[in-house]
């Protein structure tokens, strides 16, 4: 890999992370903004490529459904089940409920 390719890959990842961060903080409900926003602020930069792909799938889940998975123990679909979702569920346990 050349230095130009590496620079493009780093820039591409940087843009991707900015988009993910924005989407996490601008969901549609305050609760999901806070849950996902806090998560990306603490974990996003350290996620692997596979984890980023999973998180992008999680971002496609409607707020109401995702909230039920994170807070109300609703079943988690196989494509997003795993350590990343477990981390989100753990974070949600420390989130103040209204």
Residue 98 lies in a domain: no
Position 3 pLDDT exceeds 90: no
pLDDT score at 81: 96
pLDDT of residue 96: 65
Cβ atoms of 32 and 66 within 8 Å: the answer is yes
At 79 the pLDDT is: 92
Q: Is 82 left (phi over 0), alpha (psi -120 to 50) or beta?
A: left
Q: How far apart are CA 56 and CA 54, in angstroms?
A: 5
Cβ contact 52:21 at 8 Å: no
CA distances from 41 to 25, 34, 63, 74 (A): 10, 10, 19, 25
Give tens-digit pLDDT for 36-82.
999 999 999 999 999 999 999 999 999 999 999 999 999 999 999 99
pLDDT of residue 11: 74
CATH code assigned at 53 = 1.10.150.250
Domain-embedded: residue 14 = yes
In a domain, 32, yes or no: yes
pLDDT of residue 26: 96
Structural domain span for residue 74:
3-92
Q: Residues 52, 57, 20, 95: is their CA dihedral positive or negative?
A: negative
Residue 97 lies in a domain: no
Number of domains in the chain: 1
Q: Is position 18 within any domain?
A: yes
Could you tell me the pTM of the whole model?
0.84
């Amino acid at each position: 890999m050349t230095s130009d390719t590496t620079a493009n890959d780093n820039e591409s990842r940087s843009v991707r992370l900015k988009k993910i961060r924005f989407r996490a903080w601008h969901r549609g409900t305050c609760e999901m903004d806070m849950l996902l926003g806090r998560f990306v602020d603490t974990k996003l930069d350290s996620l692997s490529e596979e984890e980023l792909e999973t998180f992008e799938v999680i971002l496609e889940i409607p707020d109401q459904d995702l909230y039920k998975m994170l807070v109300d123990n609703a079943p988690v679909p196989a494509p997003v089940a795993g350590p990343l979702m477990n981390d989100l569920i753990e974070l949600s346990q420390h989130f103040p409920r209204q």
